[in-house]
Amino acid sequence: MEKINNVTEFVFWGLSQNPEVEEVCFVVFSFFYTVILLGNLIIILTVYKGNLFKSPMYFFLNYLSFVDICYSSVTAPKMIIDLLAKRKTISYMGCMLQLFGVHFFGCTEIFILTVMAYDRYVAICKPLHYMTIMDRDRCNKMLLGTWIGGFLHSILQVALVVHLPFCGPNEIDHYFCDVHPMLRLACTDTYIVGVVVTANSGTIALGSFVILLISYTIILASLRRQSAEGRRKALSTCGSHIAVVIIFFGPCTFMYMRPDTTFSEDKMVAVFYTIITPMLNPLIYTMRNAEVKNAMKKLWGGGVSGRLMVNS
């Protein structure tokens, strides 16, 4: 059957149809996006300039912050602009690129969080072999694997959607292009595509979540054999990671571990993993991590003190 595509652009319904609510959301999400950019950039600069890059944990934290910036930038700027627009449109090609970006950076973030859990497992359960196991070569290979995994996943998602015929309507009840809302617009049977999408995204989200649960269960069990100071430090480090995992994987599991159906709550749930989590990551990792806080104090506090001394 020949593909028929009469749609050249899609129209978003956005977060709300109420102009007053949209104005409030514009201010709120503009602030959120600014925090995302500044917070994650500070983490990246701190890791680089604070000489933390040699540590595997901060090596991955640095790239997590980079992915957070990219991930939120795929959806947030367009959503913020659309909040003040009367007609929220996106071209067909722009929609496919946005779909690719959301799944590419989202899946890459899932894999990076999983790799970070493995790093904490090795550090706490096998401390004497930590630097041997997590050497720079292995860290680079694991990081490359996260990018390749994210790319393959996103290519599959786009391939499943791009071959579908769209003959109208072209209105998406969302604020960005995602698979499930778009399947509803296709003028053909999408049951098989929906099953493949759910199986693919669901397996990645649930599989990674199970691995993370197992990793932290083993870590917490092993802490009983450590000193009080060791337990405190390990819990402080792992606590921040567990908080991020819960905030990120909870909404993701709700969205992708179910059949090809959409709910009115999907848009607000999506806000958590596309905007809230990237915004909270820098706060969680700095507030719960003494080493990062000390590096920030030395780096940024020292810079300010140095300038004051020079000016005096």
Q: Are 136 and 231 in contact (CB under 8 A)?
A: no
Structure tokens at 82: 């659309």
Report CA-CA distances (Å) from 258 to 25, 89, 224, 252: 29, 28, 38, 11
Q: Which parts of 176-276 fold into alpha helices (H)?
A: 179-183, 191-222, 228-256, 266-271
Place of tokens 């617009």: 185
Range of the domain at 187: 9-163+174-286
Place of tokens 């709120």: 28
Residue spans of the chain under pLDDT 70:
1-5, 229-230, 233-234, 236-237, 258-264, 287-290, 300-312
Q: Which of 142, 73, 66, 79 is nearest to 101 (CA)?
A: 73
Structure tokens at 101: 């970006």
Report CA-CA distances (Å) from 189 to 9, 48, 183, 210, 257: 21, 50, 9, 32, 20
3-state secondary structure of 182: helix
What is the C-alpha to C-alpha distance for residues 185 and 171, in angstroms, rounded to an integer? 8
How high is the pLDDT of residue 3? 58
Place of tokens 């092993």: 222
How high is the pLDDT of residue 37? 95
What is the C-alpha to C-alpha distance for residues 133 and 119, in angstroms, rounded to an integer? 9
| 297: in domain | no
Q: Break the chain down into helix, strand, coil percent, rounded to 5.
A: 75, 5, 20
Burial class (CB within 10 angstroms; exposed 0-12, middle 13-18, buried 19+) of 150: buried
What is the C-alpha to C-alpha distance for residues 254 and 270, in angstroms, rounded to an integer? 10
| 145: in domain | yes
Place of tokens 């905030």: 247
| Number of domains composing the chain | 1
How high is the pLDDT of residue 137? 93
Q: Which of 57, 215, 202, 69 is nearest to 143 (CA)?
A: 57
Q: Are 98 and 90 in contact (CB under 8 A)?
A: yes
| 83: in domain | yes
| 152: in domain | yes
| Domain of residue 120, CATH code | 1.20.1070.10
User: 228-256 vs 191-222: helix axis angle to the nearest 10?
Assistant: 170
> Backbone phi, then psi, for 169, in 5-degree steps?
-70, 170
| 309: in domain | no
Q: Largest Cα–Cα distance of the chain, in whole Å? A: 78
CA atoms within 13 A on the CB side of 227: 3
Q: Are 267 and 17 in contact (CB under 8 A)?
A: no
| 295: in domain | no
| 43: in domain | yes
Tell me 223's DSSP state.
G
Residues 6+ apart with CB under 8 A from 205: 110, 249, 252, 253, 256, 257
How high is the pLDDT of residue 304? 41
Q: Which of 64, 69, 72, 141 is nearest to 108 (CA)?
A: 64
Tell me 168's DSSP state.
S
| 101: in domain | yes
How high is the pLDDT of residue 310? 33
